[in-house]
């Protein structure tokens, strides 16, 4: 019998995302803590720092049997629940996040409003042939919904946003 591993999301103590990811790695638990570059301004200087993309969240890929070992790690508060059970994130969504972060340097997270909207198919780039729901497309900004988390990835450095075709 093989134990199928599934991606879940754990809620961490504030500003413990990287520490939790390190502790999980040391405990031999597969995890993913996506990071992004952020420009910070102090009174005497500007600096680009690397921050976790999702504040207080880390993705973990575990089998059902291993699931409760995760919350025994320091800094982990609990799983993120959906309908009374730890929420499951599709592997395709983890891969979409990774591709999106590889393509765009400065990414931030925004709340996704789940409404009926245009369905699109991306014509080129790393998301070629991906079908998605558009929540916002304005100027040099494109938004990609991560529906299972109720969040959106927002890239502000997109040069050409006419890379999508509306599908019906």
Query: What is the fold, at CATH topology level, of the domain defined by 5-89?
Result: Alpha-Beta Plaits (3.30.70)
For the chain, the structural domain boundaries read 5-89, 91-167
pTM: 0.67
In whole angstroms, what is the distance from residue 142 CA to residue 19 CA? 31
Kindly calculate the radius of gyration of the chain based on its CA atoms and give it in whole angstroms.
17
**Per-residue confidence band for 106, with pLDDT thresholds at 50, 70 and 90:** confident
Q: Of 68, 73, 93, which is closest to residue 146 (Cα–Cα)?
A: 93
pLDDT digits (tens, 9 = 90+) for 44-55: 999 999 999 999
Exposure string of 10-35, with b = 16+ CB inside 10 Å and e = fewer, is bebeeebbbbbbebbeeeebebbbbb
Question: What are the pLDDT digits (tens) for 13-67?
Answer: 999 999 999 999 999 999 999 999 998 898 899 999 999 999 999 999 999 989 9
Rounded Cα distance, 10 and 17, in Å: 10
Short-list 125, 153, 151, 129, CA closest to 141:
153
Q: How many whole angstroms from its chain centre is CA 14? A: 17
CATH no. for 91-167: 2.30.30
């Amino acid at each position: 019998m093989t134990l199928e591993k599934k991606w879940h999301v754990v809620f961490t103590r504030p500003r413990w995302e990287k520490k939790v990811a390190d502790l999980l790695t040391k405990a031999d638990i597969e995890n993913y803590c996506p990071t992004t570059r952020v420009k910070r301004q102090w009174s005497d200087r500007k600096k680009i720092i690397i921050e976790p993309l999702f504040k207080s969240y880390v993705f973990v890929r575990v089998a059902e049997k291993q699931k409760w070992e995760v919350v025994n790690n320091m800094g982990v508060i609990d799983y993120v629940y959906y309908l009374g059970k730890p929420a499951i994130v599709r592997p395709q969504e983890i891969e979409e996040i990774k591709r999106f972060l590889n393509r765009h340097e400065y990414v931030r997270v925004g709340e996704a409003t789940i409404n009926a909207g245009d369905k699109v198919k991306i014509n080129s780039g790393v998301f070629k042939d991906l079908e998605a729901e558009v929540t916002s497309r304005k100027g040099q900004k494109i938004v990609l919904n991560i529906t299972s988390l109720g969040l959106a990835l927002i890239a502000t450095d997109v040069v050409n946003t006419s890379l999508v075709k509306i599908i019906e």
